[in-house]
Amino acid sequence: MFSFLRPPDSGSRAGLAFTDRAGGVSQGSLGPLNLGRTDVDDLRHVRENFVRVGASLGVDRFITLAQVHGPDVVVVDAELLATWGPEQHLGSGATGTPLQAADALVTTQPGVALCIRVADCLPVLFVDSARGVIGAAHAGRVGLAAGVLPRTVDAMRELGAGEIQAWFGPHICGACYEVPADMREDVARGLPEAYAETSWGTPSLNLGAAAEAQLRALGCVVRREDPCTRTTPALHSHRRDGADAGRLGALVWLAD
Ligand SMILES: [Zn+2]
- Sign of the C-alpha dihedral computed for residues 141, 188, 145 and 126 taken in this order: positive
Residue 127 CA to ligand 1 centre (angstroms): 26
| Distance from Cα 81 to the centre of ligand 1, integer Å | 38
In CATH terms, the superfamily for domain 2-254 is CNF1/YfiH-like putative cysteine hydrolases (3.60.140.10)
- Specify which residues 253 forms β-bridges with: 15
Residue 10 has pLDDT above 80, yes or no: no
Report pLDDT digits (tens) over 123-167. Answer: 999 999 999 999 999 999 999 999 999 999 999 999 999 999 999
Q: How far is the CA of 227 from the centre of ligand 1 (A)?
A: 8
Count the Cβ atoms, other than its own, within 10 Å of residue 101.
Answer: 12
| This prediction's pTM | 0.98
Pairing status of strand 221-224 against strand 165-168: parallel
Name residue 117's amino acid: R
Q: What integer best gives the mean pLDDT of the chain? A: 97
